[in-house]
Amino acid sequence: MFTPVISGTGVFTPEEVITNDELVAAFNAYADRMNAANAEAIARGEMAPLEHSSSEFIFKASGIERRHVIDKSGVLDPAVMHPLLPQRADGDLSLMAEMAVDACGKALDQAGVAADQIDLVICAASNLERAYPAVAIEIQQAIGAGGFAFDMNVACSSATFGIQAAADMLRAGSVRKAIVVNPEICSAHLEWRDRDCHFIFGDVATATVIERKEDTSGGGFEILSTRCATQYSNNIRNNNGFLRRSRPDGMKDRRDMQFMQNGRKVFKEVLPLVSAHVLRHMAESGVGSDELRRIWLHQANKTMNDFIGKKVLGRVPEAGEQPNILQDYANTSSAGSIIAFAQNCQDLKAGDCGLICSFGAGYSVGSVLLRRL
Ligand code: CO8
């Protein structure tokens, strides 16, 4: 058995930023247009008017201040309300692969690994921009990796589930160097016209290089153990899929073809699931709360993270122990906990333990216990 080590991470951050104020101004302009266009139906009581969104609510409910997106022009145009992402020719690099190549390049540089040494590429994300060929295989070719590649989707837990898959293959010896990459174009499956969720997501890509311990020059993070768990729930759902066109109403603008959630229920049901999962994982691995120097959590909601941090550590986390990045990135699905890790791990000392944990649709929870080398 070999020991897997995270030796590098990379983050691709889109240049365009939407602040809460910009987002709310666009949403409110859209709501006003809709209300004006449907004034008679509203007056007859056949339709409820759309209510305004507010920056204060968004910050208070989520902790989000801004988000990066691939295209802000369409999202902020009240007549469009979605990103404008032109269809690319089949011979061109796809958008997910383009984001992934940038993140992979940064992760490989940090690890000091040449792309042609990689023999496993996992593209793990909440949604793939096409059914096949696998985006991972396109990324494999674009970066010049060898071996094999495949896609996987466990929504917000895709990165940790991908890390477990790669780490297990590394342990068994079937691969030598892996990269798990998470290109998340959440802006394209968010319903920007729904006040309840229009503020939640942003775009980003992260990449994580995993190698055998004996192949690294030190300084990485040994993967002590991983745990994944799932429990079926309809509370976070997106019905878009290839069956859409075969349904009689297939081409209609159906709300269920974008991200939908029952946020309150998710909040209440996922918190105990995650806390119990992490505490069990730590107990089984013989790592006590007092040994945990850092927790890099999924970035969906600040109150949620504060709660989980307190449960896991058994006290209110001190500043920096449980870093949040969602104020700058919003929820970036599977990439969130990896951004938090990538941007807040280098100050840990040899022997320090930390835990990456993601959770989301499915429901799904994935945790990765690490020790700094
Ligand atoms: N502005 C002003 N008021 C608002 C707004 C708004 N934008 N939105 C809602 N309100 C109002 C509501 O109407 C409600 O009013 P009333 O009390 O009169 O009914 C009031 O504010 C409170 O509403 P909520 O109870 O909904 O507000 P919450 O405090 O629960 O906050 C959150 C809403 C932030 C959504 C919160 O419930 C939350 O964070 N829940 C957990 C979310 C979560 O973790 N989801 C994870 C899903 S992501 C995942 O797994 C990956 C999916 C794939 C990625 C998809 C990419 C697009």
Range with the poorest average pLDDT among 29-43, 114-128, 243-257: 243-257
Say yes or no: CB of residue 261 within 6 Å of ligand 1.
yes
How confident is the model at residue 247, as a pLDDT?
Answer: 67
Residue 132 maps to a domain: no
Give the count of beta carbons closer than 10 Å to the beta carbon of residue 262. 15
What is the span of the domain harbouring residue 361? 221-372
Residue 35 banded pLDDT, cuts 50, 70, 90? very high
Residue 119 maps to a domain: no
- The pLDDT of 233-245, averaged and rounded, is 88
List the residue whose alpha carbon is closest to atom 48 of ligand 1: 360
How confident is the model at residue 104, as a pLDDT?
Answer: 98
Q: 321 pLDDT exceeds 90?
A: yes
- The pLDDT of 23-46, averaged and rounded, is 97
Pocket test for ligand 1, best of 50, 70, 264, 305 (most atoms within 8 A of CB): 264
How confident is the model at residue 189, as a pLDDT?
Answer: 93
Q: How far is the CA of 262 from the centre of ligand 1 (A)?
A: 8
Rounded mean pLDDT of the chain? 95
- Of residues 242 and 352, the one with the higher pLDDT is 352
- The pLDDT of 143-152, averaged and rounded, is 98
Say yes or no: CB of residue 118 within 6 Å of ligand 1.
no
161-186: burial string, b at 16+ Cβ within 10 Å, e else? bbbbbbbebbeeeebbbbbbbbbbbb
Strand partners of residue 123:
151, 181
Residue in 165, 153, 136 with CA at minimum distance from that of residue 189 = 153
Say yes or no: CB of residue 189 within 6 Å of ligand 1.
yes
Q: How far is the CA of 197 from the centre of ligand 1 (A)?
A: 6
Tracing tokens 């071996």 back to the chain, one arrives at 147
Q: How far is the CA of 337 from the centre of ligand 1 (A)?
A: 20
Residue 285 maps to a domain: yes
Counting atoms of ligand 1 from 1, which one is nearest the CA of 190? 57
Q: 242 pLDDT exceeds 90?
A: no
Range with the poorest average pLDDT among 65-79, 252-266, 314-328: 252-266
What whole-number distance in Å separates Cα of residue 199 and Cα of residue 161? Answer: 26
Strand partners of residue 372:
221
Counting atoms of ligand 1 from 1, which one is nearest the CA of 236? 47
Looking at the chain, the whole-number percentage of residues with pLDDT higher than 90 is 93
Say yes or no: CB of residue 62 within 6 Å of ligand 1.
yes
Residue 178 maps to a domain: no
Contact 221, 13 (CB under 8 A): no
**Angle value at C-alpha 360, between 359 and 366, nearest 5 degrees:** 30
Say yes or no: CB of residue 52 within 6 Å of ligand 1.
no
The pLDDT tens digits for 262-306 are 988 998 999 999 999 999 999 999 999 999 999 999 999 999 999
Say yes or no: CB of residue 105 within 6 Å of ligand 1.
no
Token code pair at residue 360: 């989301």
Residue 300 maps to a domain: yes
Q: 244 pLDDT exceeds 90?
A: no
CATH number, position 302: 3.40.47.10
Q: What is the DSSP string of 157-220?
A: GHHHHHHHHHHHHHHHTS-SEEEEEEEEEGGGTS-TT-TTTTTSB-EEEEEEEEEEGGGS-S-S
CA 6 to chain centre: 18
Residue 364 banded pLDDT, cuts 50, 70, 90? very high
How confident is the model at residue 219, as a pLDDT?
Answer: 84
Residue 315 banded pLDDT, cuts 50, 70, 90? very high
- Of residues 176 and 219, the one with the higher pLDDT is 176
Burial class of 1 by CB neighbour count within 10 A (0 to 12, 13 to 18, 19+): exposed
Residue 66 maps to a domain: no
How confident is the model at residue 75, as a pLDDT?
Answer: 97
How confident is the model at residue 133, as a pLDDT?
Answer: 97
Residues 6+ apart with CB under 8 A from 347: none
Q: How far is the CA of 196 from the centre of ligand 1 (A)?
A: 5
Indicate the number of domains in the chain.
1
Q: How far is the CA of 216 from the centre of ligand 1 (A)?
A: 43
How confident is the model at residue 230, as a pLDDT?
Answer: 97
How confident is the model at residue 217, as a pLDDT?
Answer: 84
Burial class of 336 by CB neighbour count within 10 A (0 to 12, 13 to 18, 19+): buried
Residue 249 maps to a domain: yes
List the residue whose alpha carbon is closest to atom 2 of ligand 1: 53
Residue 85 maps to a domain: no
Instruction: Establish how many alpha carbons lie within 13 A of residue 346's alpha carbon, considering only the half-sphere containing its beta carbon.
Output: 7
To the query of whether residue 186 is one of the catalytic residues in this protein, the response is: no
The pLDDT tens digits for 52-106 are 999 999 999 999 999 999 999 999 999 999 999 999 999 999 999 999 999 999 9
